[in-house]
Amino acid sequence: MQTSQSARLFEKAKNYFPGGVNSPVRAFRSVGGNPLFIERGKGSHIWDADGNEYIDYCCSWGPLILGHANDEVLNAVENTMRNGTSFGAPTRLENELAELILTFNSFIKKIRFVSSGTEAVMSAIRLARGYTGRTKILKFEGCYHGHVDSLLVKAGSGLVTFGNTSSAGVPESFVNETITVPLNNKEAVLQAFERFKDEIACVIIEPIPANNGLLLQGKAFLSFLREVCTQHQSLLIFDEVISGFRVSFCGAAGLYSIQPDICTYGKIIGGGFPVGAYGASQEIMSCVSPEGNVYQAGTLSGNPVAMTAGIAQLTQCLQPHFYRELEEKTQYLVNGIMSVNSFPLFKLFTLGSIFWIAFTDKKNITNADDIDANSMQYFKTLYQTLLKKGIYLGPSGYEVGFISSAHTYDDLDKTILAFKEALKMLLIE
Ligand SMILES: *Cc1c(COP(=O)(O)O)cnc(C)c1O
């Protein structure tokens, strides 16, 4: 496989950007080699700068649930753009996207559009603090919520901890407002509330944790969080930036029928453009400026081009059987790969159209501690072999894969065959 053009572009990029990239995981550091520079995409396929073709399971890390360059999205965006790309004044397109979401998602009654998942989470935390008048937040080890200062915190030693920053530049005083507990551990949550009962503004969780492996939580644990939050008048935030519009139109809240107090969205909501959002009840959202005193604003918020892409994408997600068909494809892929697997530790965990490759002898992985860092060596080898066979995954063993509606059964059959051979080679190495 020829990749000299990508290599050349990466050398250049290193002069311009830290590590040659504008977001760290793109740099391929955990799988080795140079990142591929992507030239174009159509449907489930992408082509790199050297003309190599891949079946893409990264899908821009989740947003592209219809695949690349979806015709309806492109046509709509083109029409909108001709009328101008930004006004900094309201447009009818914001109403249309909001109406589409609020009509079919009964878990939120009002919404505010922002420009990224990080921004949505940052605003939701501020809103929870403003609404409750409390300062502390409780998060789970193994959940990612974007690069929000107070959430770049990893657990210390012990069940309930004020963690350590997972990034330089985050003040200790911020970290002291963030309590960190393990996933799927009721005892830890109870202990945290016992110690800090009237101080906890919110509990934030990815209801389907999918940024550090796929750490599936039982419905019982999520219901338990709902009860504990209600009991202590803390807000429950579901960070649905990945799971929103992915596992169902109403995300994990809909899948599990659990009512969070605030939901955050991103990724799919923007149809491949930078959009995030947070939503809640009328009462909670009335705290947001200009109605209330929780300040939050954005020059490009509700951008008409991005709104248009979101409308075009979400309209297609609402077609009958859309999510069932995605799930059927994912099951077909997962069962197909498992049926040809020859490598003992290889496992696939899946929910809806999300899947995660793990190397483990455990039956379930529900907690960040259950992931063996050494197993990432296997992923690295598997990754490079699959890449040469035309299968593109997110370049890290901690990342999940996504199926889009553009993936065909022919794509899936080719992928199963590639896995069969790659897993066989893993056995030899
Ligand atoms: C991707 C993601 C974010 C951050 O979104 P960005 O658009 O990258 O800022 C936050 N929370 C979750 C659960 C995510 O998956």
- Residues 212 and 190: beta-carbon distance below 8 Å: no
Tell me, yes or no, if 392 is annotated catalytic.
no
Residue pair 275/269 in contact by the 8 Å Cβ criterion: yes
Which among 119, 145, 278 is the best mutation to test ligand 1's pocket, defined by most ligand atoms within 8 Å of the CB? Answer: 145
Atom of ligand 1 nearest to the CA of 116: 7
Cα angle, residue 111 at apex, residues 291 and 175 outer, rounded to 5°: 85
Distance 271 CA to ligand 1 centre (A): 15
Residue ranges in the chain modelled with pLDDT below 70: none
Question: Which atom of ligand 1 lies at the shortest distance from residue 206's CA?
Answer: 13
Contact 250, 268 (CB under 8 A): no
Tell me which of 54, 57, 131, 144 is the catalytic residue: 144
Who's near 102: CB < 8 A, 6+ residues apart? 108, 109, 110, 111, 279
3-state secondary structure of 351: strand
Rounded Cα gap, residues 366 and 295, in angstroms: 36
Looking at ligand 1, which atom is closest to the CA of residue 61?
1
Q: What is the pLDDT of residue 256?
A: 98
Q: For ligand 1, say whether the CB of 207 is within 6 Å of any of its atoms.
A: no
Locate 10 and state its tokens: 């990466």
Is the C-beta atom of 139 inside 6 A of ligand 1?
A: no
Indicate which residue of 136, 139, 267, 347 is catalytic: 267
Our answer on whether the CB atom of 240 is closer than 6 Å to any ligand 1 atom is: no
Q: Contact at 8 Å (CB) between 207 and 145? A: no
CATH superfamily of 4-69+320-428: Aspartate Aminotransferase, domain 1 (3.90.1150.10)
- At residue 158, the pLDDT reads 78
The third-level CATH classification (topology) of the domain covering 71-317 is Aspartate Aminotransferase; domain 2 (3.40.640)
From the CA of 119, give the closest atom in ligand 1. Answer: 9
- DSSP structure class, residue 261: S
Whole-number pLDDT of residue 159:
81
Query: From CA 65, how far away is CA 251, in angstroms rounded?
Result: 13
Ligand 1 pocket check for 278: Cβ under 6 Å: no
Ligand 1 pocket residue status of 112, Cβ below 6 Å? no
246 lines ligand 1 (CB under 6 A): no
Residue 118 alpha carbon to ligand 1 centre in Å: 6
Task: Kindly list the domain boundaries of the chain, sorted by start residue.
Answer: 4-69+320-428, 71-317
pLDDT at 163: 76
Residue having the nearest C-alpha atom to atom 5 of ligand 1? 117
| Ligand 1 atom 6 nearest Cα | 117
410 is catalytic: no
pLDDT of residue 157: 74
**pLDDT for position 164:** 84
Q: Is the CB of 399 under 6 A from ligand 1?
A: no
- Rounded to whole angstroms, the Cα distance separating 80 from 93 reads 9
- Distance from the CA of 397 to the center of ligand 1, in angstroms? 17
CA of 357 to the centre of ligand 1 (A): 20
Q: Annotated catalytic, 261?
A: no
Site to substitute for ligand 1 among 59, 113, 121, most atoms within 8 A of C-beta? 121
Pairing of strands 164-165, 276-280: unpaired
> Tokens in use for 232?
């202590």
Instruction: Work out the angle between the directed axes of helices 304-317 and 71-81 (0-180°, nearest 10).
Output: 150
pTM of the predicted model over 0.75: yes
- Residue length, the chain? 429
Helical residues (DSSP H) of 62-184, grouped into ranges: 71-81, 92-104, 117-132, 172-175
Q: What pLDDT does 429 receive? A: 77
**What does the pLDDT read at residue 179?**
96
Cα-to-centroid distance, 305 and ligand 1 (Å): 21
Residue 290, preceding peptide bond in cis (omega within 30° of 0): yes
Q: How far apart are CA 27 and CA 243, in angstroms?
A: 25
Q: How far is the CA of 116 from the centre of ligand 1 (A)?
A: 7
What 3-state DSSP class applies to 350? strand
| Token representation of residue 137 | 């937040």
Residue nearest to atom 11 of ligand 1 (CA): 145
Catalytic residue among 56, 239, 261, 411: 239
